[in-house]
A and B are shown apart, each in its own frame.
Chain A
């Protein structure tokens, strides 16, 4: 009898541990929704579609989320523009071209890059990258979208490399042999056989990379200049959704419109990352079938 109880309690324990994370995700959604709801379901909701973000003002507060969304997208887009070619080429090199010693040296280094705290990378952006950008492009300030994008690219690269590398490694060697036996060069084999077969894995890697970039907060808060303007220029300062929440949440009046709008921003952010992860998982799963 006691054995049965033991079995049962262990089962409950493990089930509990496994469900906790799901419950937490659910609770986060619930909590965000609860705080945002009073604003979302009032006539004030139209304010969210404005083009100006002036949350604290003596005259008229503006809660237009557009500058924040475009700011996030600009930084993310630029970061992906740098990170994808860099990451995918690195993965190809690592899995197909590098010899054993190089692999053993590079892999831990890449993983190390993933482990650098974002505040350290932001610090690097302010101290090292910002002056370089400022001088190279003759700008007034080196704290802009480009700075953030470069650093975020750096942070997304390990994710992209590691997952692409896995995908490329799982391409059956028989495909490569067939290509080489037909007189294909190493490069032809890589571009015509290996990469196309690993493509779904590479796409998933990119998706997860984007998820990492769009959700990153500290670095962009430190280096993008935090000007809530709508712009397409990489040399302008921008304010991302994440940076906005991080910078303003601490000082906002509890229960105010501003407070509730920040939760709306959070919901949008969560939906985007959630969606990206879902797509990535779907693409990855389709590959394994």
Chain B
């Protein structure tokens, strides 16, 4: 791949750009996740090349790019979900709160408690609504019924689902509509009180109305969570994110403030993708 040199720069430039009157909020950006020179392999096939970027605390960062560009793989390195696939390996480092998550002493359970994930297709367990949300707290050792009830209620409220399901918490989650199921999955992820929320195309299987709800929800959630979202829809990236990273064939082509990416992209490739010339 030719773009080794492309990757490192934009990530570092971001700070400067974001202050350059792009209309972003003026609060200082604290780096929550810092990725340095990440290469990732499925067996012998390399799918990510020298990725370096910073993801900022309590901001929404969107990963865009054509199918197979590595954006989902990259997302899944952030909570080490790729670990469950045999034959994957990587080099480079990923720091969350300045700690290397691939370090030797890392507790995967703690990592995934801190970094929640919502999947592309909603995947509630075939259990009741209550049990779905209570699953995470339960496996982390909370047994007290009252405490669980509080967590479930709070999580469902945060996911904007409480009003719709509060009278039928015991009914099966699979009976909910697609949009409700996805918000239930978000509630389930919130129930373990994560700091970071990874979302892998969370609205791609939803109708427009449900998509709007999920997008609104993302905007609300960024008050308290650092959100990383992979999306196919550039409109979605433009609507919900503060920062956007454009991936192409395993390279991070450009990373910058969303507004800048969509108005004045630095790279021709980014511009071509955004204007729909390929992808």
Chain A residues close to B by CB (< 8 Å): 99-100, 172, 174-175, 177-185, 188, 192-193, 196-197
- A178 to chain B: closest CB distance in Å? 5
Given pairs A183-B109, A183-B192, 9 additional interface contacts (CB within 8 A): A100-B86, A175-B126, A177-B119, A178-B124, A179-B135, A179-B139, A181-B81, A183-B140, A192-B135
Contacts of B116 in A (CB 8 A): 181-182
Task: State A181–B125 Cα separation when bound (angstroms).
Answer: 13
Residues of A within 8 A of B109 (CB): 183-185
Closest to B114 in A: A183
In residues 50-85 of chain B, which contact A (Cβ within 8 Å)?
A: 79, 81, 84
Also in contact, A182 and B125, with CB within 8 A (given A177-B81, A177-B119): no
A174 and B121 contact, CB distance less than 8 A: yes
Q: Which residues in B have their C-beta under 8 angstroms from that of A99?
A: 86
Task: Please report B residues at the A interface, Cβ cutoff 8 Å.
Answer: 79, 81, 84, 86, 108-113, 116-117, 119, 121, 123-127, 135-136, 138-140, 185, 188-189, 192
The 12 listed contacts between A and B (C-beta, < 8 Å) are A175-B123, A175-B125, A178-B123, A178-B185, A180-B84, A181-B119, A181-B189, A182-B113, A182-B136, A183-B112, A184-B135, A197-B126
| A178-B126 contact given A183-B140, A183-B192, CB 8 Å threshold | no
Interface centre among A99, A183, A185, A193 (most CB of B within 10 A): A183
Residues of B contacting A182 in the complex (Cβ-Cβ under 8 angstroms): 112-113, 116, 135-136, 139, 188-189, 192
Least CB distance from A122 to B in Å reads 42
Which 6 pairs, one residue from A and one from B, show the smallest C-beta to C-beta distance?
A174-B123, A183-B112, A181-B117, A182-B136, A183-B113, A183-B109
In the complex, A100 Cα to B79 Cα: how many Å?
Answer: 25
The interface residues of chain A, by DSSP majority, are classed as helix
Contacts of A196 in B (CB 8 A): 127
Q: Which residue of B lies closest to A181 (CB)?
A: B117
Given contacts A180-B84, A197-B126, contact A174 B136 (CB under 8 A): no
- Please tell me which one of the listed residues A177, A185, A192 contacts residue B123 in the complex, with CB atoms under 8 A apart: A177
Q: Tell me if B123 and A172 are in contact (CB < 8 A).
A: yes
* Candidate in A182, A184, A188, A196 with the most chain B CB atoms within 10 angstroms: A182
CA distance A236 to B116 in the complex (A): 58
Q: Give the CA-CA distance A222 to B104 in the complex, in Å.
A: 58
Q: Which of chain A's residues have a CB closer than 8 A to the CB of B121? A: 174
Cα–Cα, bound, A184→B191 (Å): 13
With a cutoff of 8 Å between Cβ atoms, the chain B residues found around residue A100 in the complex are: 86
Query: Within the complex, what minimum Cβ distance (angstroms) separates B109 from chain A?
Result: 5
A174 to B185, CA, bound (A): 12
> In the complex, are the beta carbons of B112 and A188 less than 8 A apart?
no
- List the A residue with the shortest CB-CB distance to B185: A178
**How far is it, in angstroms, between the C-alpha of A147 and the C-alpha of B140 when the chains are bound?**
44
In the assembled complex, the Cα of A185 lies from the Cα of B109 at a distance in Å of 7
B125 lies within 8 A of A178 (CB): yes
How far in angstroms is the closest Cβ of chain A from B119? 7
| B127: A residues at CB distance < 8 A | 196
User: Which residues of chain A are within 8 angstroms of B136 by Cβ–Cβ distance?
Assistant: 182-183
Q: Cα distance A185–B141 when bound, in Å? A: 12
A residues in contact with B126, CB < 8 Å = 175, 197
Among A100, A172, A177, find the residue whose CB has the most chain B CB atoms closer than 10 A.
A177
Bound-state CA distance A72–B81 (Å) is: 50
The answer for the CA separation of A140 and B192 in the assembled complex, in Å, is 61
